[in-house]
Chain A
Amino acid sequence: MNKELHDLAGWSVKTALSSGADNCRVGISGERFVQMSYRERKPENIKEASTRELVVEIFAKGRYSAQSTSDLRRNALTDFIAKAVATTGLLAEDPYRALPDPKYYEGRADVDLKIIDPDYPQLTAGDRHDSVKTIEEACLTEGGEKIITVTAMAQDTHEERVVLTSNGFEGYANGTSYWAGARVTAQDEGDRRPAGYNFVASVARRKMPSPGEIGAVAARRTLSLLGAKKLKTETLPIIVENRNVPTLLGALLEAMSGWNIHQKRSFLADKKGQKVASEHLTLIDDPLLVGGLGSRLFDGDGFAAKKRVMIESGVLKDFYVDWYYSRKLDCEPTTGGSSNLIIPPGKRSVAEIMKDLGRGIYITGFIGGNSNSTTGDASIGIFGHLFEDGKPTQAVAEMNIADNQLKFWPRLIEVANDPWVYSSRRTPSLVFADVVVAGV
């Protein structure tokens, strides 16, 4: 526990109560990070800073407001909190606003989530420079003369947060994270200059791929985009690359939120217990995953974190409902937002699946697009590769897929064996049948 943050949070709770709040929640977060990028074999940007922010949520006379500030001088905070309380009193009453029943705070897991990298304190400026330089060099070497420009980047962060409430909740979270990668531009035919990338993240430096591998993969991904064509509109099977699956999942997650359900903006609102996808889709929310980028012991309401199966064999099992919307919806709360999302992997590799399918589109990126959470109608741009006879034969771009979510997910026919581990979304590649891929 960071005593300085804890003391300031405690003082803020007292100040809010003495200013007239009936209850309050105070969170103070602190972060220290270093960012670095290299281009043309020299540092392009170096940035380093520490930040702090205080958030106070006021519950007063059945009313609610939330205020945040980075000005943590105590005299400024005294005014800030007093005015926050006064302002809250001017709003309309909301009978659903209250701090959670403390019973939901109980049962916090007593586990080490291992989200602090023990090597973090030893990280030096020299280590950072060496790592980013190596990413750039490996990318240039792998990419050869087709490469126009490479920007290699990395960031390391240490964050901590204290949360206190006036009804007895105390929480402390503390974690490290690393992020590294490269953006690459290559020369294609004519004026086209395709840009590719490779970015990875982890809570521990030693769990990251080597800088050389990060750079080489960035180059290979970029070169694979050369010669992209727009194909004729056709109905084909598609394989969505593991790291791009979260874009698809986002449409489901949005419709699973308590706010969307209560505000009649969810196409899934009446689908709990029903099949919304094929039996191949199981989706697990696991905040207690050891070493996960989304791991946590408590959520935003202070609820003790629990592993939950959100979708099981295609059946929608649960929604993301925080304390406030559970009261409005008159249901049991779950949690207000996702943590680590896991789709259990299948048995076959993408290469094996491609061979089996023969012809289709392997999607390695999305562009633009949207999914309407109210109706489930979606349309999104894609790029990637046409595969024929089980092997990639042609890069594709400027194409599009469109469907309704409730028609699209039932066409999931297989889950590959390659979960993407460098994110809080641990998703394998997914295979869908009979998708209209629009082009010429």
Chain B
Amino acid sequence: MESMSRRCFLKTSAVAVTAAIAASFPRSLFGLGSTDASGYFEREFGITDALCRRVLAEALSKGGDYADLYFEHTIGNWVLLEDGQVNRAYCDVALGVGIRTVKGDQVGYGFTQELAEKSMLNAASTAASIADSGPRQLREEFKELKLKDYYPLETLLTIVPLESKLPLVQSVNDRCFASSPHVVKVNAGFHDQQKRVLILTSDGSKVEDLQPRNYLYASVVAEKDGRRESAWWNLGGRRDFSFYTDAVVEEVAETSVQRAVTLFDAIQPPAGEMPVVLGPGVTGVLLHEAIGHGMEADFNRKKMSTYSTMIGKKVAEPFVTIIDDGTIPGQLGSINVDDEGTPSERTVLVQDGILTSYMHDNISAKHYNVASTGNGRRESYQHFVQPRMRNTYMLPGPATPDDVIRSVDRGIYVQDVSNGEVRIGEGDFAFYVSQGRMIENGKLGAPIKDINIMGNGPKMLQNVIMVANDMELAKSGAGSCGKGGQSIPASFGQPTILVKSMTVGGVKG
């Protein structure tokens, strides 16, 4: 449920407008020195198993199938550059616990930012109100899950000294200006976040995780003959600080500048239907939005998705296989465990053109009588769990990228898209092409810009008639997926593919 909070108007503009940046903290602050997730909440906040049992008992005091607690302590830091100087820093600290009672597909939810027993019992009482029978018994004791670690850290980024982060951002700025005489403005920044979670369930499972997220970015304005263009680029994910090498700085700067400068020669293509080639990597966001969301189990359980009657049926050509995978090391959408305590996994959604599985949380898994796929995720302790994607991608196919482009007489080649949106029930989607080229007689032509491509997700999937062998994952650390008013980190990828026909929203009829 989206919030209609007026908080933005109440906040001070400086902080409300910018996603508040952050300073880096020394080891002593918040006790964040260890990269080991285990025991953190007990050490720092006195959260014992016995206390959690009392809170869970209150959450099930009126019945319900099960209850869970989601403790979170997140620190986010930003350092930002404007007009040549790293002259602002922001930090955001979030601390709290969300308490959920589930009865069938009904959910009661309360949360508190105060980790005192009285506050937690009040929140648990709110959650319990979804049920209306006698109390349900808990398991005797918690069993702690041991997890594989898909984002091992040598050092927490929150304790990397600020002095080590500032040169990264300054270097990006300097290289952007050195890269082209057309560059007139650069905004650059580095973001790191450490999210610690502790999840305990009335079924007796207990798990802790430490989830890093970070990225380095540049946003560039270039000017030529009185005309201005802008572009940006970032690299990151769930990385160790050692990821941010000189080569990364170089790629962030060079890519953002080249993307801006290329647009000086860009045209807006004519409007209408035409073949569309999606390049490898970041265009996977289209797969994520136009197809992936329709395979999230809640939309199917509620019969809102066009895929709700399609399990076991053909949804694409036999050379199309689609995966949602939370186990790729360092990738932004990877999770060691989902936000209900289910260990992460690699889930095959479409196998050789056949729809084989939805993405499940506990509620939908019970509805469909299958095991959860570990896709139960939430933005924070303030939010409900929903089935959400992790890293969603298409496996490589038999063609080469050149084969794909050569097969098109007249169409467009899409290198990057943004601002995607899908209407789940119809499957209709629209994406803004931020980088691309015309294809004329099987060859890449003039750059294109500022157009939409529109289509229908299920139809698009059926219309994927070529898949190349060059699958890439997006390397962004900044990607967020929005659903139901919640934003979570997710990633995607795909090889070069040819879609037989899509609507291109150009300027002339």
Contact = CB atoms under 8 A, between A and B. Distances in A.
A370 B505 CA distance: 12
B242 interface: no
A25 B129 CA distance: 40
Contacts of B425: 185-186, 192-195
A438 B7 contact: no
B421 interface: yes
B228 A157 contact: no
Contact of B302 (A39, A72, A299): A39
Nearest to A148: B303
A420 interface: no
A305 B229 CA distance: 35
Contacts of A155: 1, 3-4
A350 interface: no
B10 interface: yes
A168 B422 CA distance: 48
Contacts of B506: 379, 402, 438
Nearest to A401: B505
Contacts of B406: none
Given A29-B11, A66-B14, A367 B230 contact: no
B417 to A, nearest CB: 9
Contact of A301 (B13, B271, B384, B452): B13
B90 A377 contact: no
B162 A265 contact: no
Contact of A402 (B4, B9, B108, B450): B450
A201 B5 CA distance: 10
Interface residues of B, number: 107
Interface string A307-350: 00000000000000010100010000000110100000000000
A440 to B, nearest CB: 6
A397 B428 contact: yes
Nearest to B429: A368
B336 interface: no
B450 A438 contact: no
Contact of B20 (A66, A80, A195): A66
Contacts of B117: none
Nearest to A35: B1
Interface stretch (B92-100, B343-351, B396-404): B92-100
A43 B89 contact: no
Contacts of B86: 91-92
A436 B271 contact: yes
A169 B226 CA distance: 43
Interface in A28-45: 29, 31, 33, 35, 37, 39, 42-45
B36 interface: no
Interface string A390-414: 0000000111111100000000000
A352 interface: no
A403 B397 CA distance: 37
Interface string B87-127: 11111111110000000011111111100000000010010
B265 to A, nearest CB: 14
Given A83-B23, A439-B503, A299 B13 contact: yes
A186 B304 CA distance: 8
A6 to B, nearest CB: 15
Interface residues of A, number: 113
A49 B382 contact: yes
A381 B23 contact: no
Interface stretch (B352-360, B368-376, B437-445, B454-462): B454-462
Nearest to A383: B428
Contact of B13 (A153, A195, A336, A401): A336
A47 interface: yes
Given A45-B384, A49-B112, A265 B456 contact: no
Contact of B452 (A201, A379, A439): A379
Contacts of B427: 191-192
Contacts, number: 352
B230 A173 contact: no
Given A94-B88, A337-B13, A44 B106 contact: yes
Contacts of B20: 55, 66-68
B231 to A, nearest CB: 10
A65 B23 contact: yes
Given A83-B29, A84-B91, A173-B10, A55 B15 contact: yes
B190 interface: no
B26 interface: yes
Contact of A46 (B6, B9, B130, B227): B130
Nearest to B308: A193
A67 B3 CA distance: 23
A87 B24 contact: yes
Given A264-B228, A300-B13, A368-B421, A48 B126 contact: yes
Contact of A159 (B5, B96, B105, B418): B5
Highest count of chain A CB atoms <10 Å: which of B302, B455, B506: B302
Given A71-B93, A402-B507, A381 B452 contact: yes
A240 interface: no
A403 B505 CA distance: 10
A211 interface: no
A27 B10 CA distance: 9
B426 A397 contact: yes
Nearest to B24: A87
Nearest to B83: A328
A219 interface: no
Contacts of A281: none
Given A70-B94, A71-B113, A370-B432, A322 B13 contact: yes
29 contacts: A29-B7, A45-B109, A51-B113, A66-B15, A66-B20, A67-B91, A67-B92, A69-B94, A70-B94, A87-B89, A90-B23, A91-B87, A94-B88, A148-B303, A157-B5, A185-B302, A193-B304, A193-B426, A259-B17, A264-B223, A322-B14, A368-B419, A368-B452, A377-B449, A379-B432, A397-B426, A399-B503, A403-B507, A438-B503
Interface of A: 25, 27, 29, 31, 33, 35, 37, 39, 42-52, 55, 57, 63-72, 79-80, 83-84, 87-88, 90-94, 97, 125, 148-149, 151, 153, 155, 157, 159-161, 163, 173, 175, 177, 179, 185-186, 188, 191-195, 201, 228, 230, 233-235, 259, 263-265, 293-294, 296, 299-301, 322, 324, 328, 336-337, 339, 367-370, 372, 374-375, 377-381, 383, 397-403, 424, 436, 438-440
When A and B form their complex, which 6 residue pairs have the shortest distance between CB atoms, in order from nearest?
A300-B13, A368-B430, A400-B505, A87-B23, A381-B430, A438-B271
